[in-house]
Amino acid sequence: MSEGKLLSYVVTYLEMAAPPARPAPPAPAGPRTGNLALMKAEKPSAGYFLYLYRAVGARWQWSDWLARPRAEAAAFAGDPQVETFVLYREGAPAGFFMLDFRGRAGEAGAGEGAERPESCELAYLGLVESAQGLGLGGWLLGTAQARAWERPIRRLIVETCTLDHPGALALYQKAGFVPTGRAEKTRRFMDPEIFGF
């Protein structure tokens, strides 16, 4: 596949209107998962956010933020209403999730002076390749859901697409998300070298 080729893909939008009935699962334990730690990144820099974004997303063609000005990435990652949690495995970043509590434009509660957003978006969730297949994805998702519902939101939203991990849609549905819509889109294939890995 050469750089510049158009890729067609389908985006699925999902939401949940109530917290999961079950509590977040415990972290997987055992020799394969290694020593795990999940830490909130306080005021992550644009560079750190883009490092995580590339480390997790290069394989899945996550490229949107690579085309934006670095100042936008800094504003997004550093916004106090955006929370970033990083999973460490054996001392190295193994994945992350980001919760965006800013609400969406046009939603009730998302305007200026609103006490709380109508929704929280699970903006990003993923694992580096070496951490996949160890049972960490469901635990990371359950932890992200629990964290989001600690706030007084009315719904938790997420989107995934056919360029993402093949198990992503099923994982979200198993965790209680319900599809609310689909859209067909196209994007240009990005040469893996652009991602810096």
Instruction: Supply the CATH number for residue 107's domain.
Output: 3.40.630.30
Domain housing 64: 6-18+36-195
Cα dihedral across residues 99, 84, 73, 165: positive or negative: negative
DSSP annotation of 43? S
**Per the domain annotation, does 83 fall within a domain?**
yes
Number of domains in the chain: 1
What's the Rg (C-alpha) of the chain?
Answer: 17
**Per the domain annotation, does 24 fall within a domain?**
no
* pLDDT tens digits for range 184-197: 998 777 665 655 54
Q: What are phi and psi of 141, to 5 degrees?
A: -65, -45
- Closest CA relative to residue 186, chosen from 2, 58, 11, 65: 11
d(CA 102, CA 79): 9
Q: What value does the mean pLDDT take over residues 165-185?
A: 94
Residue for token pair 């991990």: 165
pTM to 2 decimals? 0.86
**Per the domain annotation, does 126 fall within a domain?**
yes
**Per the domain annotation, does 1 fall within a domain?**
no
* pLDDT tens digits for range 7-33: 888 999 999 999 998 888 788 877 777
**Per the domain annotation, does 30 fall within a domain?**
no
Residue 181's DSSP bridge partners are: 13
